[in-house]
């Protein structure tokens, strides 16, 4: 077939390399992004990164508030002449009526090896659950949550020191390369149905996902720290006071979960359910982050201090 015209659906900065890679080789006839949202203390109405980028490039831009039953936007997509649409971290489920508009439907770039980690936060949950390999899947979108057939898939090893920030960067680069490959073979790729019985899920993170579970093993505590590094970050409590923790790594030591075992220039050594972790920085509420040893001195949190244990909310 001739070079396909592409509509691109995406919102956060993660999607920018994917949009730019498509734009370098194909005609982008429409960009769709989430509506502008209030941001910061002044609640200034701010466009998502993809919308701002598209506007700066002079690309046709739409920011529909809803998709289901939106005949105006469906007509806009149809009138754009897009042969295919690509979604990358767009953030909305697509109704069947919209999926049927482009001749080749919608392709989605999903940051996991489907059917593993379907959902909104596959990068974060892969780290939280201690995975050592993830990857990118290019799939044909259907009306389910990441349930469509697989067109292309490629694994990516997770380096031990990567947080969600570094892993997202690596996956964004991989997704950009794979979607260009998929678009170049449009109409010639063989879709492979997913094995739904093997599916796992990666729901959107909530603030409580960042709370340290001191009763977990040390590696699990560090893995959670890696997974929530971008948001909501790692939070612990002392006497009910909230603390943001940074620079966690596995350390030698054993004690009661949450017990401060040592304070050194490297930070706090805190016991976990098995083993211990070193915490490099501590940020008390409404204050700047500081070396953990300095915080311990001013807070009187020496060896023997017990950080609060997290309690799961009542069902």
- Exposed, middle or buried by CB within 10 Å (0-12, 13-18, 19+), for 198? exposed
Q: Which CATH class is domain 208-299?
A: alpha beta
CA distance 160 to 131: 10
Condensed to tens digits (0 to 9), the pLDDT of residues 151-181 reads 999 999 999 999 999 999 999 999 999 999 9
pLDDT at residue 41, as a whole number: 79
DSSP 126-152: HHHTT-SEEEEEEEE--SSSS-SPEEE
pLDDT at residue 1, as a whole number: 59
As a dihedral over the C-alpha atoms of residue 120, residue 126, residue 128, residue 131, rounded to 10 degrees, the angle is 170
Q: Which two tokens stand for residue 24?
A: 């370098």
Condensed to tens digits (0 to 9), the pLDDT of residues 114-152 reads 999 999 999 999 999 999 999 999 999 999 999 999 999
Domains 5-198 and 208-299 belong to one CATH topology: no
pTM value? 0.95
Listed in sequence order, the DSSP H helices in 48-163 are 49-57, 71-79, 96-99, 122-128
pLDDT at residue 43, as a whole number: 84
Condensed to tens digits (0 to 9), the pLDDT of residues 24-78 reads 999 999 999 999 998 887 888 899 999 999 999 999 999 999 999 999 999 999 9
Condensed to tens digits (0 to 9), the pLDDT of residues 87-122 reads 999 988 999 999 999 999 999 999 999 999 999 999
- Please report, for the chain, the start and end positions of each structural domain, with discontinuous segments joined by +: 5-198, 208-299
Beta carbons of 232 and 207 less than 8 angstroms apart: yes
CATH superfamily entry for domain 5-198: Formyl transferase, N-terminal domain (3.40.50.170)
Mean pLDDT taken over the chain: 96
Instruction: Reply yes or no on whether the pLDDT at 303 is more than 80.
Output: yes
pLDDT at residue 313, as a whole number: 74
């Amino acid at each position: 077939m001739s070079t396909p015209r592409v509509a691109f659906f995406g919102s956060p900065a993660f999607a920018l390399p994917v949009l730019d890679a498509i734009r370098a080789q194909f005609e982008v006839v429409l960009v769709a992004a989430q509506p502008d949202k209030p941001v910061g203390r002044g609640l200034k109405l701010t466009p998502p990164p993809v919308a701002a980028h598209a506007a700066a490039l002079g690309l046709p831009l739409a920011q529909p508030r809803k998709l289901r039953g939106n005949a105006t936007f469906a007509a806009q997509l149809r009138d754009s002449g897009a042969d295919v649409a690509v979604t990358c971290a767009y953030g909305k489920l697509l109704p069947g009526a919209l999926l049927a508009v482009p001749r080749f439907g919608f392709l989605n770039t999903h940051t996991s090896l489907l059917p593993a980690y379907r959902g909104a936060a596959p990068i974060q949950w892969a780290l939280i659950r201690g995975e050592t390999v993830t990857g990118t899947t290019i799939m044909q979108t259907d009306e389910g949550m990441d349930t469509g057939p697989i067109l292309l898939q490629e694994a990516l090893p997770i380096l031990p020191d990567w947080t969600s920030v570094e892993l997202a960067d690596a996956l964004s680069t991989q997704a950009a390369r794979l979607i260009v490959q998929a678009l170049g073979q449009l109409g010639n790729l063989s879709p492979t149905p997913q094995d739904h019985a093997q599916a796992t899920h990666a729901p959107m993170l909530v603030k409580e996902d960042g709370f340290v579970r001191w009763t977990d093993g040390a590696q699990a505590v560090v893995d959670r720290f890696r997974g929530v590094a971008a948001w909501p970050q790692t939070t612990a409590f002392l006497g009910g006071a909230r603390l943001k923790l940074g620079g966690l790594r596995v350390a030698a030591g054993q004690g009661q979960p949450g017990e401060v075992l040592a304070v050194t220039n490297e930070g706090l050594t805190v016991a976990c359910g098995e083993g211990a972790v070193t915490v490099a920085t501590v940020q008390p509420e409404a204050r700047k982050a500081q070396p953990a040893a300095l915080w311990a001195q001013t807070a009187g949190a020496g060896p023997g201090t017990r950080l609060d244990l997290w309690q799961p909310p009542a069902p």
